[in-house]
Amino acid sequence: NAGVTQTPKFQVLKTGQSMTLQCAQDMNHEYMSWYRQDPGMGLRLIHYSVGAGITDQGEVPNGYNVSRSTTEDFPLRLLSAAPSQTSVYFCASSSTSGRGSNNEQFFGPGTRLTVL
Amino acid sequence: QQQVKQSPQSLIVQKGGISIINCAYENTAFDYFPWYQQFPGKGPALLIAIRPDVSEKKEGRFTISFNKSAKQFSLHIMDSQPGDSATYFCAASLGYGQNFVFGPGTRLSVLP
């Protein structure tokens, strides 16, 4: 299993440009999420999905869109990039098999995004 | 109420020493408390986790102590090693642990 994969690893954008951060998992996990990591602020939840066709907002959703057409993929779209979106982005997935499960979230390697 | 506080921001420990990182939360509905370890350039990885029905959980050199009445939990790393040098995040979640609230992180440096 490759686990959670993210592409690209690095990206530089100009203000106003759009792009999509890709995330895929091969563990058949129902739950997937996107976090951003900024110095001194830990990881903050952007959007999440509990299954194909279902998405919801997290703590910091503004400026980002998501969709979940398949169990495996959960892309994050920046419609009009702003310097405030300079960050490291992590995708994560976990099983929703219930309270007796491990509940471990598996994180991808991250995408480092710079918006000029 | 969703915030998780974490201290210290950074920690320097000698090899063989004990590293202690503390976290506090407000929301009494949280029912899953994991600790994640992150090395530079990598994504966070689960280190150890606890549910509020136990006061302590130990896995090798890593122990979580949980104080439900004080709404605090801590990570103890015994016999700290240079390879433990990383950033550690505490977190808390509701329900089945899907939406996590993370602390701001502690950068641990273990000197050889």
Nearest by CB to residue B105, choosing from A42, A48, A104, is A42
Q: Which residues contact A100 (CB under 8 A, 6 or more apart)?
A: none
At residue A43, does pLDDT exceed 60?
yes
**How close, in Å, is residue A6 to chain B by CA atoms?**
11
Inter-chain CB proximity B97 and A4 less than 8 Å: no
At residue A100, does pLDDT exceed 50?
no
Inter-chain CB proximity B44 and A108 less than 8 Å: no
Nearest by CB to residue B43, choosing from A50, A99, A110, is A110
Residues of chain A neighbouring B6 (CB-CB closer than 8 A) = 42
Element (H, E) at B107: strand B106-111
pLDDT digits (tens, 9 = 90+) for A50-82: 899 999 999 999 999 999 999 999 999 999 999
Q: Does B34 contact A at CB distance below 8 Å? A: yes
- 50-79 of B, contacting A, C-beta below 8 A: none
Element (H, E) at A116: none
Q: Determine the distance from the C-alpha atom of residue A20 to the mean position of all C-alpha atoms in its chain, rounded to a whole number.
A: 10
**How close, in Å, is residue A85 to chain B by CA atoms?**
18
Q: Does A42 contact B at CB distance below 8 Å? A: yes
Q: How confident is the model at residue B73 (pLDDT cuts 50, 70, 90)?
A: very high
The answer to whether residues A108 and B43 touch, using CB atoms and an 8 Å cutoff, is: yes
Whole-number percent of chain A with pLDDT over 90 = 79
Look at residue A54 in the predicted model and tell me its pLDDT. 93
Q: Does A94 contact B at CB distance below 8 Å? A: yes
Look at residue A42 in the predicted model and tell me its pLDDT. 87
**How close, in Å, is residue A10 to chain B by CA atoms?**
11
Rounded Cα distance, B60 and B71, in Å? 25
pLDDT digits (tens, 9 = 90+) for B2-57: 689 999 999 999 999 999 999 999 998 888 899 999 999 999 999 999 988 899 99
Please tell me what DSSP assigns to residue A60. Answer: S
At residue B1, does pLDDT exceed 90?
no
Residues of chain A neighbouring B46 (CB-CB closer than 8 A) = 104-105
Q: Looking at A5-9, A49-53, A86-90, B6-10, which range is the least confident one?
A: A49-53
At residue B100, does pLDDT exceed 90?
no
Beta bridge partners of B56: B65
